């Protein structure tokens, strides 16, 4: 009996020790800041973390990142994972944290509407663009193989599919026309990987002729020496990734968020392929891996936004991605039958 009690005590002590590590204090001026981000942020954040730790506000703080698919990270934070700031792919993921009380309900009431990083949807193509993919219409040609992540499991896929829908809507002028084009588009998709990163990996290994992806993701892949090219289409969608401070986090979390949006922070993000937030002047930055490093971000002729062209995420999610009745959900489910 005695040894059972001892064992129980030891186990209990162990559990307490483990859970004790997760707490953070609200008023200290040094410690660890836990940043929870969607997967693409992992490489981009390394330099931003280091730079912030060198600023006056970041002095004494150690930043620690935790990364995964946007929805997974959202659920992890909901489930109690230690987090001081979240930086996710889709606005609804942060909104869900807000409605659960993890994030202040007015998190988006600021100059950038709660957005920390911007990019656009581009076509990744195999080296030398052998199929000469230039426009959204090129994707509909018979025999063109498209790779795009699964909108069911990946936030980035929703950006991609909405960009396509928006482009076809603009071209055909009607929902019916856009849907007819999307049907052809879906029929050409040969692979629906579970995340944006998996899609890039599959594409680099020869799957498909076109990879629908974020501009920053493709530029980063090229910076890492991957052999693929990309094309900025003349119509695209502005990708806006939201960020917010978690309730009860130390003030340094607010400071970090401000640093991310500052010219210094944005410059570091730009170097890894993101587009600077509107109104932030990062000066002339040479971006390795861009088609033209000295002019890395050509103006997109028709740049649509989720708010102006799709009525915001709530409306778009219901109309296009509802699990049973979403337009794109249904088109996808029927695509290979």
Partner 1 sequence: MSRRRLDRGAGLGLGAAMIWFSLLVLIPLAAIVVKAAGGGLATFGHVLTESETRDALLLTVKMSVLVTVVNVVLGTLIAWELVRDRPRRVGGAAGVGEWLWGKVRVVVDLVIDIPFALPTIVAGLVLLSLYGPHSPLGLHWAPTTQKAILVAIAFVTLPFVVRTVQPVLEELDTDVEDAAASLGAARFTVLRRIVLPAVLPAIFAGASLSFARGLSEYGSLVLLSSNSPHRTETVSVRLFAFIEQSNTESAAALATVLLVVALLAILVLDVVQRRVARHG
Among 150, 171, 175, 307, binds partner 1 (CB under 8 A): 150
**Residues in region 223-282 near partner 1 by CB under 8 A:** none
The answer to the question of residue 206 lying near partner 1 (CB under 8 A) is: yes
* Number of CB atoms found within 10 A of residue 184's CB: 16
Residue 28, phi-psi category: left (phi > 0), alpha (psi -120 to 50), beta (remainder): beta
The answer to the question of residue 153 lying near partner 1 (CB under 8 A) is: yes
* Number of CB atoms found within 10 A of residue 224's CB: 10
Shortest reach from residue 126's CB to partner 1, in Å: 10
The three-state secondary structure class of 243 is: strand
Among 172, 179, 191, 234, binds partner 1 (CB under 8 A): 191
Within a 13 Å sphere around the CA of 273, how many CA atoms are in the beta-carbon half? 26
| Sole residue written with tokens 């040479």 | 286
Distance, C-alpha 111 to centroid of its chain: 20
Among 112, 119, 154, 304, binds partner 1 (CB under 8 A): 154
Among 32, 55, 207, 262, binds partner 1 (CB under 8 A): 207
Shortest reach from residue 95's CB to partner 1, in Å: 12
Q: How many residues does the chain have?
A: 337
The answer to the question of residue 190 lying near partner 1 (CB under 8 A) is: yes
Shortest reach from residue 92's CB to partner 1, in Å: 10
With respect to partner 1, which residue has the nearer C-beta, 32 or 72? Answer: 72
The answer to the question of residue 289 lying near partner 1 (CB under 8 A) is: no
Contacts of 46 (CB under 8 A, 6+ apart): none
The answer to the question of residue 86 lying near partner 1 (CB under 8 A) is: no
The answer to the question of residue 17 lying near partner 1 (CB under 8 A) is: no
Among 82, 164, 169, 189, binds partner 1 (CB under 8 A): 189
Of 48-56, 80-88, 105-113, 185-193, the segment contacting partner 1 by CB under 8 A is 185-193
Shortest reach from residue 38's CB to partner 1, in Å: 12
The three-state secondary structure class of 180 is: helix
289, two tokens:
């891996």
Q: How far apart are CA 175 and CA 178, in angstroms?
A: 5
| Sole residue written with tokens 């186990």 | 11
The burial class, CB within 10 Å (0-12 / 13-18 / 19+), for 33 is: buried
Interface residues toward partner 1, by CB under 8 A: 3-4, 7, 69, 71-72, 74-75, 96, 150, 152-154, 189-194, 198, 201-202, 205-207, 323, 332-333, 335-337
């Amino acid at each position: 009996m005695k040894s059972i009690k001892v064992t129980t005590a030891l186990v209990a002590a162990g559990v307490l020790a483990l859970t004790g590590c997760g707490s953070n204090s609200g008023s200290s001026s040094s410690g660890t800041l836990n940043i929870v981000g969607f997967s693409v942020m992992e490489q981009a954040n390394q330099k931003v973390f280091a730079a912030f730790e060198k600023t006056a506000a970041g002095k004494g703080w150690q930043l620690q990142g935790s990364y995964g698919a946007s929805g997974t990270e959202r659920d992890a934070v909901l489930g109690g994972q230690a987090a001081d700031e979240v930086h996710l792919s889709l606005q609804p993921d942060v909104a869900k944290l807000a409605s659960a009380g993890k994030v202040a309900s007015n998190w988006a009431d600021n100059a950038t509407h709660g957005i920390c990083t911007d990019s656009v949807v581009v076509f990744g193509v195999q080296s030398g663009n052998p199929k000469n993919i230039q426009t959204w219409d090129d994707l509909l040609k018979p025999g063109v193989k498209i790779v795009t992540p699964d909108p069911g499991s990946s936030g980035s896929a929703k950006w991609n599919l909405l960009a396509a829908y928006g482009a076809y809507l603009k071209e055909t002028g009607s929902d019916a026309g856009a849907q007819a084009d999307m049907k052809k588009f879906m029929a050409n998709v040969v692979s629906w990987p579970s995340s944006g990163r998996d899609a890039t990996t599959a594409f680099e290994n020869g799957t498909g002729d076109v990879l629908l992806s974020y501009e920053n993701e493709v530029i980063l892949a090229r910076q890492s020496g991957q052999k693929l090219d990309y094309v900025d289409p003349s119509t695209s969608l502005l990708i806006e990734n939201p960020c917010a401070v978690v309730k009860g986090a130390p003030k340094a979390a607010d400071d970090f968020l401000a640093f991310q949006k500052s010219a210094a922070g944005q410059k570091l993000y730009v170097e890894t392929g993101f587009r600077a937030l509107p109104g932030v002047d990062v000066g002339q930055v040479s971006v390795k891996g861009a088609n033209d490093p000295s002019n890395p971000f050509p103006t997109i002729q028709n740049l649509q936004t989720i708010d102006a062209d799709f009525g915001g995420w709530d409306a778009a999610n219901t109309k296009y991605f509802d699990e049973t009745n979403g337009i794109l959900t249904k088109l996808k489910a029927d695509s290979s039958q």
